[in-house]
Amino acid sequence: MIQARRSHGTHLLIDLWGARHLEDADRIRETMINAALRAGAKLLHVHLHKFEPHGGVTGVALLAESHISIHTWPESSYAALDVFMCGSAEPERTIPIIKATFTPRQTIVLQAIRGTDGGGSSMIETASFAHCDGLRTGPTTAQARG
């Protein structure tokens, strides 16, 4: 995790391609709970909604440190997750839990350091997550401030 400067939190945007179990709301709920606990976050509430006819699931786990959200498209074997955490929680620790549940063919993670004390807007930065298949990179801090 990048912590070169003070911020209000780390936001991971996670894309899963070739994923499984995307229509299983119970498994998704369990995964969100386990991921939050693994990251050291305090779980407040989980709410999921299952859509028909394809069975996609949208859900959010509210955390004292922010949230984990998921949107699934079983018909495309695709899921999009947001993991946003502040304080001492470690959002990158959610990645192995997520990958173990959905067994994606490809995982892409974007990391945004939110609310930095640099006075600029939020920036996308690169990070190294050994358990990911790929990492999309955005502008460097200097490029973002441009």
- Is it the case that residue 5 has pLDDT exceeding 80? no
Cβ-Cβ contacts under 8 Å for 35 (sequence gap 6 or more): 61, 68, 83, 93, 94, 97, 98
Q: How confident is the model at residue 140 (pLDDT cuts 50, 70, 90)?
A: very low
- Residue 50, number of CB atoms within 10 A of its CB: 15
Distances (CA, A) of 100 to 104, 129, 132, 141: 8, 15, 12, 32
Contact between 82 and 69 under an 8 Å Cβ cutoff? The reply is yes
Rounded-to-integer distance, Cα 138 and Cα 123, Å: 8
Whether 71 is catalytic is yes
Tokens 């959905």 found at:
102
φ and ψ at 86, to 5 degrees?
A: -120, -175
93-108 mean pLDDT: 96
Catalytic residue among 11, 66, 67, 132: 66
CATH (residue range 12-55+72-83+94-114): 3.60.90.10
State percent of the chain over pLDDT 90. 67
pTM of the model as a whole: 0.79
Whether 47 is catalytic is no
State percent of the chain over pLDDT 70. 76
Q: How confident is the model at residue 86 (pLDDT cuts 50, 70, 90)?
A: very high
Domain residue ranges in the chain: 12-55+72-83+94-114
What pLDDT, on the 0 to 100 scale, is given for residue 70?
A: 99
Whether 121 is catalytic is no
Q: How confident is the model at residue 113 (pLDDT cuts 50, 70, 90)?
A: confident
39-46 mean pLDDT: 98
Catalytic residue among 8, 21, 69, 71: 71
Q: How confident is the model at residue 116 (pLDDT cuts 50, 70, 90)?
A: confident
What pLDDT, on the 0 to 100 scale, is given for residue 133?
A: 54
Catalytic residue among 7, 11, 67, 86: 86
Tokens 């996609």 found at:
56
